[in-house]
């Protein structure tokens, strides 16, 4: 059973009990219907209260049943709601903590609703590429008004119960309880007070009107289309469904809602968004590290380096209320770093995103030092120094000498060998890679690099602290570039070959941005600094002399065109602006380089550009999976969605490849391998990819 049944005097209480958020899985739905039947059959029971045990009323659909036959098995949620509406005894929802999705729809099907303050109320289905599918678009507008309901449904964002209770004319809540603790007793008393009411009130019977409906819905469509640029089908369908509530009889509106919901379920965008929903939760789990692994306490953090990365990393911990001690070699560098952090916070205050007292509180948690000895009591230390193995060696030897036993020693390296770094110390079990992405205080991704000796409790501890600082943590094994940068190198190589063969940087960038990337490879290079890639390539020329690169990126750097910071890169930039202006100097350099290679320019389609760039990511990712560097294909999707601007509605490179068809992808790769100006050996399919195609399987 996933619900408990108890009788308090003449009121039956059905408590959903499916931790952690009382998801409405099959067993829970069955238990609610059985509880209703038991209460109806008991003459001593005069009313019924439905609530949720533990930390939620209900968070909606049970994600464990996503895509399984159980999700569609009767009693469906619509049938449960119908059983509640048709119950001859009053049914009161006692709502607390979380009432989202199907949980809110269940409450809307009850005759009455009593809510505790602080309850998060939402219909978040749009975030999965769907609309509410159990009456949410038809009932919510009837109880809080069309405009408020549409805002909630299109945004999917939660609203506090006490805010909803203040809406003029709202009939969502019949009573606000004094507190969560008193909710059940107040709901039972309320239920006793409505015994004998006939007819029992039903939300479905309430009117649903808007005084200026046509203009309001047209405005809403324009707003949504402007924000989503037509890439997400669900938001306009939310508007259509709510508009139906104002025009159709209730049962017609419900039938239309169900049809829209079912059609959206099979769109590529919905499949991608549902995939990412599950992938995000899967990424936080490490197969050989049990969830009950004891964790090391992280109450204070030290950060080495006050540059852009060190300052950004520090802000994450300050924002979470964790004290930070920042170390630099010179006072001037410390002062500069702290000044940049202050200006970042002050900009948030100015925009109204941060209150002045919070800003002061956060900066009050920051201290600075020039002495390694002052870091000795920190629970976690993260180095963010220059990306050179000799520099890392000096830092970790000093940390090994001063840090207390049990402290976690982390490197923010983006490419270097974490195992080598760990063995600069006498405690390799305490060393881990924490690769933050720039700007570190903004970007969601955190690659957690697990060394050969990294202890399980260290992994459990850093995954937990990642959640506290609101990062999406993905575990990577040790290899050059880990998951994200190892893949992006192949993407960048393809971008270089494309401009040698006839593209301009802006053509490549526009094709990829039209596909949905936040930024094309050349604009991205200018933002990150082209000299960073130059340094990596110089290392590659020594380590992998057979690896083929376009020389255009090196020629660009030899011209001093390092990107936005230099005012010129693949594009020209005006002082104080970030607009990328095509450069005649760069076009001439590319043309001269092509001439020196004897390459005749050819017309290259946007489709070829996108496929070469995206499939290069996928083929390298297949090697990464085969080698065990990443645990799952969905982890790689999370890396690219949260760290590299891959379009969310495509679900990540691996999900996109699955939807494109791995057989079709292999055919394209065979074509690319015939191109004399490309790298034929790279386009040989990774063994895992070839195996999946042969077996008719997919990555996810």
Task: Give the model's pLDDT for residue 502.
Answer: 95
Predicted confidence (pLDDT) per residue in 469-489, tens digit: 999 999 999 998 999 999 999
Whether the pLDDT of residue 66 is over 80: the answer is no
Q: What percent of the chain lies above the pLDDT cut of 70?
A: 100
For 98-107, what is the mean pLDDT? Answer: 97
Tell me the pLDDT band of 543, cut-offs 50, 70 and 90: confident
pLDDT grade for 28, boundaries at 50, 70 and 90: very high
Give me the percent of the chain exceeding a pLDDT of 90. 89
Position 17 confidence tier, pLDDT thresholds 50, 70, 90: very high
Q: What is the pLDDT of residue 540?
A: 86
Interatomic CA distance for residues 14 and 638, integer angstroms = 38
d(CA 698, CA 700): 6
Look at residues 573, 568, 535 and name the one whose alpha carbon lies nearest to residue 554. Answer: 535
Instruction: Choose the catalytic residue: 65, 85, 125, 328.
Output: 125
Helices 584-597 and 484-501: crossing angle in degrees, nearest 10, is 80
pLDDT of 229: 81
Domains 301-476 and 484-695 are alike in CATH topology: no
Question: If you search the block for the tokens 């790279």, which residue do you land on?
Answer: 682
Q: What is the pLDDT of residues 603-649, one digit of tens each?
A: 999 999 999 999 999 999 999 999 999 999 999 999 999 999 999 99
Q: What is the DSSP letter of 445?
A: E
Catalytic residue among 74, 105, 388, 543, which?
105
Average pLDDT of the chain to the nearest whole number: 95
Cα of 672 vs its chain's centroid, Å: 33
Q: Output the pLDDT for position 46.
A: 97
Q: What is the pLDDT of residue 225?
A: 86
Residue 1 predicted with pLDDT over 80: no
Distance between CA atoms of 120 and 136, rounded to whole angstroms?
Answer: 16
pLDDT above 80 for 498: yes
State yes or no: pLDDT of 63 exceeds 80: no
pLDDT for residue 428: 97
Residue 381: its pLDDT value, please? 98
Query: What per-residue confidence (pLDDT) applies to 487?
Result: 96
What is the average per-residue pLDDT within 70-81? 89
Mean pLDDT check: name the lowest of 191-200, 572-581, 585-594, 648-657: 572-581
Indicate the pLDDT class of residue 528, thresholds 50, 70 and 90. confident
pLDDT in the model for residue 65:
77
Phi, psi values for residue 435, rounded to 5°? -90, 100
The answer to whether 387 is a known catalytic residue is no
356 annotated active-site: no
Query: 3-264 adopts what CATH topology?
Result: 2-enoyl-CoA Hydratase; Chain A, domain 1 (3.90.226)
The DSSP code sequence of 28-88 is HHHHHHHHHHHHHH-TT--EEEEEESTT-SB-SS-GGGTTSGGGGSSSPHHHHHHHHHT-S
Residue 535 has pLDDT above 80, yes or no: yes
Q: How confident is the model at residue 576 (pLDDT cuts 50, 70, 90)?
A: confident
Q: What CATH fold (topology level) applies to the domain 484-695?
A: 1.10.1040
Residue 432 and residue 458 in contact, taking contact as beta carbons nearer than 8 Å: yes
pLDDT in tens, 557-570: 999 999 998 999 99
Strand partners, 100: 122
Q: Specify the CATH superfamily of domain 301-476.
A: NAD(P)-binding Rossmann-like Domain (3.40.50.720)
C-alpha to C-alpha distance for 313 and 291, rounded to whole angstroms: 26
- Contact criterion met (CB below 8 Å) for 348 and 391: no
Find the range with the poorest average confidence among 224-228, 249-253, 318-322, 388-392: 224-228
What b-and-e string marks burial along 363-395, b requiring 16 or more CB atoms within 10 Å of the CB? eebbebeeebeebeebbbbbbbbebeeeebeeb
Tell me what pLDDT residue 388 has.
86
At residue 393, does pLDDT exceed 90?
yes
DSSP secondary structure, 293-309, as one string: --------EEEE--SHH
Q: Which stretches does DSSP call E strand in 450-586?
A: 472-476, 571-572, 581-582
Show Cβ contacts of residue 448 under 8 Å, excluding neighbours closer than 6 positions.
432, 433, 434, 435, 459, 462, 463, 466, 473, 474, 475, 476
* Contact (Cβ atoms closer than 8 angstroms) between residue 550 and residue 533: no
pLDDT classification of 87: cutoffs 50, 70, 90: very high
Confidence of residue 179 (pLDDT cuts 50, 70, 90): very high
Structural domain boundaries in the chain: 3-264, 301-476, 484-695
541-574 in b/e form (b: 16+ CB < 10 A) is eeeeeeeebbebbbebbeeebbbbebebbbbbbe
């Amino acid at each position: 059973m996933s619900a408990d049944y108890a009788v308090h005097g003449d009121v039956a209480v059905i408590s959903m009990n499916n931790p952690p958020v009382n998801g409405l899985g099959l067993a829970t739905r069955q238990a609610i219907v059985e509880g209703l039947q038991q209460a109806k059959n008991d003459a001593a029971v005069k009313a019924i209260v439905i609530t949720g045990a533990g930390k939620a009323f209900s968070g909606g659909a049970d994600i464990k049943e996503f895509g399984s036959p159980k999700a569609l098995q009767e009693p469906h949620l619509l049938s449960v709601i119908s059983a509640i509406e048709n119950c001859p005894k009053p049914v009161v929802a006692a709502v607390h903590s979380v009432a989202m999705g199907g949980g809110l729809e269940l409450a809307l099907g009850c005759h009455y609703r009593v809510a505790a303050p602080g309850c998060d109320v939402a219909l978040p289905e749009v975030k999965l590429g769907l609309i509410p599918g159990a009456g949410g678009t038809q009932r919510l507008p009837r109880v809080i008004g069309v405009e408020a309901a549409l805002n909630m449904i299109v945004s999917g964002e939660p609203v506090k119960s006490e805010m909803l209770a203040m809406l003029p004319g709202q009939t969502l809540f019949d009573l606000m309880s004094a507190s969560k603790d008193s909710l059940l007793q107040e709901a039972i008393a309320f239920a006793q007070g409505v015994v004998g009411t006939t007819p029992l009130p039903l939300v479905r019977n309430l009117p649903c009107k808007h005084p200026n409906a046509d203009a309001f819905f047209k405005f809403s469509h324009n707003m949504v289309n402007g924000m989503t640029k037509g890439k997400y089908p669900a938001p306009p369908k939310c508007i259509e469904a709510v508009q139906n509530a104002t025009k159709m009889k209730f049962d017609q509106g419900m039938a239309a809602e169900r049809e829209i919901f079912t059609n959206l379920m099979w769109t590529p965008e919905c499949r991608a968004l549902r995939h990412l929903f599950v992938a995000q939760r899967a990424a936080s789990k490490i197969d050989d590290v049990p969830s009950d692994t004891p964790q090391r306490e992280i109450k204070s953090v030290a950060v080495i380096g006050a540059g852009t990365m060190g300052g950004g990393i520090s802000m994450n911990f300050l924002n979470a209320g964790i004290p930070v001690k920042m170390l630099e070699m010179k006072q001037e560098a410390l002062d500069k770093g702290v000044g940049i952090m202050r200006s970042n916070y002050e900009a948030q205050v100015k925009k109204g995103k941060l209150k002045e007292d919070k800003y002061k509180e956060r900066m009050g948690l920051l201290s600075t030092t020039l002495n390694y000895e002052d870091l000795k009591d920190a629970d976690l230390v993260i180095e963010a120094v220059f990306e050179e193995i000799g520099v890392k060696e000096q830092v970790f030897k000093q940390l090994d000498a001063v840090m207390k036993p049990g402290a976690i020693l982390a490197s923010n390296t983006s490419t270097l060998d974490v195992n080598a770094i760990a063995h600069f110390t006498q405690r390799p079990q305490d060393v881990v890679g924490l690769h933050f992405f720039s700007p570190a205080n903004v970007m969601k991704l955190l690659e957690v690099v697990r060394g050969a000796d990294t202890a399980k409790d260290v992994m459990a501890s850093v995954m937990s602290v990642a959640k506290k600082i609101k990062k999406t943590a993905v575990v990577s094994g040790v290899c050059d570039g880990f998951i994200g940068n190892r893949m992006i190198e192949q993407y960048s190589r393809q971008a270089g070959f494309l401009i040698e063969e006839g593209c301009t940087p802006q053509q490549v960038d526009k094709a990829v941005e039209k596909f949905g990337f936040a930024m094309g490879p050349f604009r991205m290079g200018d933002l990150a600094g082209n000299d960073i890639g130059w340094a990596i390539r110089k290392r590659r020329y020594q380590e992998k002399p057979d690896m083929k690169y376009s020389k255009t990126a090196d020629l660009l750097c030899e011209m001093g065109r390092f990107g936005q910071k230099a005012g010129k890169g693949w594009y020209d930039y005006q002082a104080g602006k970030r607009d990328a202006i095509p450069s005649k100097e760069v076009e001439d350099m590319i043309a001269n380089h092509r001439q020196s290679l004897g390459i005749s320019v050819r017309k290259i389609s946007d489709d070829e550009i996108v496929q070469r760039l995206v499939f290069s990511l996928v083929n390298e990712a297949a090697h990464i999976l085969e080698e065990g560097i990443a645990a799952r294909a969905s982890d790689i999707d999370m890396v690219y969605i949260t760290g590299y601007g891959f379009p969310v509605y495509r679900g990540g490179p691996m999900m996109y490849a699955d939807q494109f068809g791995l057989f079709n992808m292999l055919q394209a790769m065979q074509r690319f391998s015939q191109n004399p100006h490309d790298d034929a050996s790279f386009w040989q399919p990774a063994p895992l990819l070839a195996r999946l195609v042969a077996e008719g399987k997919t990555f996810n």
